[in-house]
Amino acid sequence: MDPFVTLTAPAVPLDIANIDTDQLLPARFLKKPRSAGYGNFLFHDERKPGFPLDDPAYAGAGILVADRNFGCGSSREGAVYALVDGGFRCVVAPSFGDIFAANAAKNGLLTVTLPEDVVAGLRRQLQEAPGAVVTVDLPAQTLTGPDGRALSFSIDPFKKECLVEGLDDVALTLRFQDAIDAFDRTDAERRPWVVPNGE
User: Using CB under 8 A as the criterion, which residues of the chain lie in contact with other proteins when the complex forms?
Assistant: 15-18, 20, 22-23, 26-28, 30-31, 34, 45-46, 67-69, 72-78, 80, 95-99, 102-103, 106-107, 120, 156-158, 161, 169-170, 173-174, 176, 179-180, 183-184, 187, 191-199
In angstroms, the CA 142 to CA 150 distance is 6
The minimum distance between CB 96 and other proteins, in angstroms, equals: 8
Which CB sits closer to other proteins, 66 or 133?
A: 66
Which CB sits closer to other proteins, 56 or 191?
A: 191
Given its phi and psi angles, is residue 166 left (phi above 0), alpha (psi -120 to 50 degrees) or beta? left
The minimum distance between CB 129 and other proteins, in angstroms, equals: 19
Which CB sits closer to other proteins, 148 or 170?
A: 170
The minimum distance between CB 168 and other proteins, in angstroms, equals: 8
In angstroms, the CA 102 to CA 123 distance is 24
User: CA end-to-end span of the chain, whole Å?
Assistant: 41
The minimum distance between CB 2 and other proteins, in angstroms, equals: 14
CA torsion, ordered 122, 117, 18, 25, to nearest 10 deg: 20
Which CB sits closer to other proteins, 150 or 174?
A: 174
In angstroms, the CA 44 to CA 48 distance is 9
